Amino acid sequence: MISLTDVSHVYETDAGDAVEALSDVTLSIADAEIVCLVGPSGCGKSTLLRILAGFLPASSGEILVGGAPVAGADPDRGVVFQQPTLFPWYTVRENVRLSYRYSGDEEQKVAADELIELVGLDDAVDRLPHELSGGMQQRTQIARVLAAGPSYVLMDEPFGALDPFTREQLQAELLRVWGRDRPTIVFVTHSVEEALLIGHRVVVMAARPGRVIEDVRVPEHLRVSAEGVSRETVQADLRAATADPDFVALRHQVTEAINAAHVVGA
C-alpha cells in the first residue's frame, strides 16, 4: 500500500524565491490498484511521482510505501519515464534482461523473456534501440522495468509523446501486463480519456500549489479486462469503452474538475 499524509514540497528558484509545488497532499493507494494523476500543468503530478520514487525529498509530511518510509530510490519501485531510457549499445533482449545481468536471478531472466513476448517484441530481440520505433522503445523500457519484479510501478506520462495508434497499443499492453502480474501502478497523464481507460481511480490535482481536489473511482463495468486475451481484443474493448454513455459522462466530470483546478490554484 502507498500512503501519503500531508505531503508538501517547496523548492527554491535560481532567483532565490520559494515556490510551493505541493501542499498537504493526502492519498492512499491499495495494493494492485492503478491510480492515475491528472491536472493542469504545474500542479505537481511529476513532483509527487519523484517523491514516491525517492528521487526527491518531501519538505514535510509522511510517505509510506509497503509500510516503510521512503528514504531514497528502491528497486521495488520501478520508474517508467516519458522518454525511453535505454542503453544504446544493448539490444532489446539485453536491455530487458538488465536486472538479471546484475542480480543473476534466473527468475528475472525468465520474467524478462516472458515480458518481451507479452509486449510484442519477440521479433525485435536482437535490435538496438536506434533500430526501433518510439513505441517499440517504450515497450522495451516498460518490459525492462517490470522484469525486475517491482511491487510498485511509477509512470510519468509514458505515452505522451506517441501517436494515437501507438498510444492505444501501449495502453492495451500495460493492461495485459497488469492483468498478469498485478503491480500497484501510479500513472501520470494529461489525457483524461487515458486516465479513465487505464485507472481504477483518477485523482485530480489543483494547480500550484498541487493538492488533491477530486478522487474519482472508475465503475467496474467501464474497466477493460485484459487477462489472458490478445492485444487486439483489448484495443477493441478500449475503443468500445469510450463510446459508453457512462464513460462519456465520467470524462465530462473529470474534465470539469480539471477546469475547476485552474481556478482553485489561481
Taking only the tens place, the pLDDT of each residue in 209-221 is 889 999 999 999 9
pLDDT the model gives residue 263: 61
56, 11: one domain? yes
**Same domain, yes or no, for 97 and 202?**
no
The 3 state secondary structure assigned to 113-169 is HHHHHHCCCCCCCCCCHHHCCHHHHHHHHHHHHHHCCCCEEEEECCCCCCCHHHHHH
| Orientation of helix 164-181 relative to helix 106-118, angle to 10° | 140
Residue 228, all three cell numbers: 489472458
Confidence of residue 231 (pLDDT cuts 50, 70, 90): confident
pLDDT band at 243 (very low <50, low <70, confident <90, very high): very high
Residues 205 and 215 grouped into a single domain: yes
In this structure, are 41 and 92 located in the same domain? Answer: no
How much is the average pLDDT of 242-258? 95
Same domain, 96 and 123: yes
Pair (187, 257) in one structural domain: yes
Helix (H, G, I), strand (E, B), or coil: what is residue 246? helix
CATH number of domain containing 64:
3.40.50.300
Assigned domain for 175 exists: no
Residue appearing with cell numbers 482553485: 264
Same domain, 50 and 157: yes
- 98 and 206 part of one domain: no
Sheet bearing 34-38, strands edge to edge: 77-80, 152-156, 184-188, 34-38, 201-205, 212-217
Is residue 201 in some structural domain?
A: yes
Q: Same domain, yes or no, for 72 and 164?
A: yes
Does some domain include residue 115? yes
Domain that holds residue 134: 83-149
Place of cell 536506434: 130
Task: Confirm whether 237 is domain-assigned.
Answer: no
51/97 same-domain check: no
- Examine the domain organization and report whether 200 and 163 are in the same domain: yes
Does the residue 122 lie in any domain? yes
As for how many domains the chain has, the answer is 2
Q: What percentage of the chain has pLDDT greater than the value 70?
A: 98
Please check whether residue 227 lies inside any domain of the structure: no
**pLDDT of res. 266:** 46
Q: Please indicate, yes or no, if residue 65 is contained in any of the structural domains.
A: yes
Identify whether residues 142 and 125 lie together within a single domain: yes
Radius of gyration of the chain from Cα atoms?
18
User: Higher-confidence residue: 37 or 229?
Assistant: 37
Residue 194 within any structural domain of the chain? yes
